[in-house]
Amino acid sequence: MHPNVKPKYRERRLLPYYDLADLGRDEESDPYRYGLSLLKLIGARPRQEIATHTFSHFYCLENGGDTEAFRADLAAAQAAASRRGIALTSIVFPRNQVSPQHLRVCREAGLTAFRGNEACLVSCRAP
């Protein structure tokens, strides 16, 4: 289920895959890293959308946050959502880190809306 290509951040602490040994087995044993019950509550409410915050809390502007790894990360997020019958169309970028290249990958992946900072609304306009 993990992306087949992972970012190669200069700062190792940014990559969550090193912490998998500490991951609990389910939401009851690890409520901070599992949230299926919350996902179901949100999904059951009218006019609410389940969006992505990326699969691995991907940092687009950190050294090593390249578009190939981002593409794989989005594919993993979409696969996880799809298993629950969710089609992702929106993204909230971790730390609001976004670039025109990453937005292009989002469009290719079928995402049509994003939340970013105001400066990005000007500098990241789609060509």
State which H helix or E strand residue 4 sits in. none
Q: pLDDT tens-digit profile of 11-20? A: 988 988 877 7
Domains of the chain, with CATH numbers?
Answer: 14-48 (no CATH), 49-127 (3.20.20.370)
Q: And the tokens for 10?
A: 């200069």
Q: CB burial class (10 A; 0-12, 13-18, 19+) of residue 102?
A: buried
Whether residue 121 is predicted with pLDDT greater than 70 in this model: the reply is no
Q: pLDDT tens-digit profile of 48-89? A: 999 999 999 999 999 999 999 999 999 999 999 999 999 999
Alpha carbons 54 and 57: distance in angstroms, whole number: 5
